[in-house]
Structure 1
Amino acid sequence: MDDEVPLVSLLVATIGRPNELRRLFDSLVNQVCGQFEVILVDQSRASNTVKLLAREFSERLNITYLRDEGTGLSRARNLALSQAKGSHLGFPDDDCWYGPDVIAGVLERFADAPGTGIVSGLYTEPGKFNPAFASSGGPLSLWNVFDRACSVGLFLDRKSLHGCSVFFDERIGAGTSWPVAEEIDLVMRLLRADVSGSFDPTLVVYHAIARDKSRSMEEFVATRQAFWYVVAKNYPFPLNVLRFMRGIAGVVLNRSPYGLRCSFGALVSGVRAGMRQRERKRVSE
């Protein structure tokens, strides 16, 4: 592969999904813009399949393969970040895939809006719109980020981050007890540091739409705790009070299948954890 410095570093974590990873790699081979690298973190157990796949594609893609004996998506992404050389960052999952103009389109969007540090798109299946996302684009804010940011559609311009560190909170994300919202936490931290961001629903990454809404009580509680942890950790006063009031109203009006007590308990425990983490950070500073 060409030794020139890549424009984009794509950070990919995987655990034993070679078929999905092959689809992603095939889509990257077909990118109109080829100035990117792939930092692949393999947390698979007792298998060299992913390593062999990376070797197979190394003739056509600039791949750095990293083996990680730990677990957790946030941990893997932080390891990949330590090796990333690109001026821009992207975070594709191993089971997503790109249309041929995604990387070129991302770079074009950043070029058209100098000073923008965050460009967020959405994920969906080919030919469909994912109703989990807002249908109109615009600036990102702490208030609207929840239906305008996803990790696979998230891209950062390092030079426009005002020196902010890019890292994922390893308490949350797939592979932890709170398996969601790690990308929302990152975006919120950047927005709080006055990094400019925008949401563009025409920037599309392909990924299966989640349709199975049936979750166990444990899964429901874990996702709600993670959500409120991130809110409490990142929302300043008085936005945090308004968000908590809105959340309490939502708990009362939108009854979960597991009851009011379950929903309210998840809210309270998540908020407490987020406030404790916020206080730890304040003291350390």
Structure 2
Amino acid sequence: MARCGGLLGVAEDSTGRVVLAGAPLGNTGDASQRLRDILTTADVVAAEDTRRLARLARDLGVTVGGRIVSYFEGNEERRTPELVEALRAGQTVAVVTDGGMPSVSDPGYRLVRAALDAGFPVTAAPGPSAVTTALALSGLPSDRFVFEGFLPRSGSARRSRLRELAAEPRTLILFEAPHRVGDALADLVATFGPERPAAICRELTKTYEEIRRGTLSELADGAAAVPPRGEITLVLGGAPVTAAERPADDVLRAAVAGREAAGDSRRDAITAVATAHGLRRREVYALVHSDQ
């Protein structure tokens, strides 16, 4: 089928396609040439905020060549069928959010799913991501992590969700609104404990970028004294695995050997065993290779 052709799943004829275009988090110097090209050539640009899109295009010195439509949480469900019709007409539809990659806690997923279900190709012009940027800057372990998006807005629902996440051994990444971050940190102290290491990342790549690192209690105290402003990404250290919970070295080695015997590569076996027991991959790797 033509709609499935090409290395990136992009049709070789005039069939419509969706392009998820990564936008700068704040510093326009991070914009790729592909983003510039997509803004110039796409038939339709679905923007989370059309005013921000106009500002971005102006800052990049490009002219949006196609039709601009708003595409945000409030109209995403209603507008998605309209965009699928544009695909049926052979048009390229680009999705651009206020910053970062579309569909990651931002508009885009509904269109991706609808386009794929209708047989149209979806590709990306990759760009910055607040998730991986904050993780890299946090100073916390980055080999295994979980992204949870936004916490529930109400206090009771938020605390309930945090109790479910408290035992997660992997580094945890959350988004939070500036006016709720103080309450969120207070709930994190209560559920994760005051000594859990964490980082507050705000205004990433912008003029007033700030990374606050410390324990949850320290960050909660700091947020109460000087409430963080700007877009917030929270990065939290994983729950520690106690000696009582950790299987013996021989048990871990045997688990890896069993997976290898079942057909897993050693790399996959080590990763699976580490994940199953909430351990760092490098720890299980060292155990397996120290026995050789």
- What TM-score do you get using the length of structure 2 for normalisation? 0.27
- What TM-score do you get using the length of structure 1 for normalisation? 0.27
Larger radius of gyration: 2
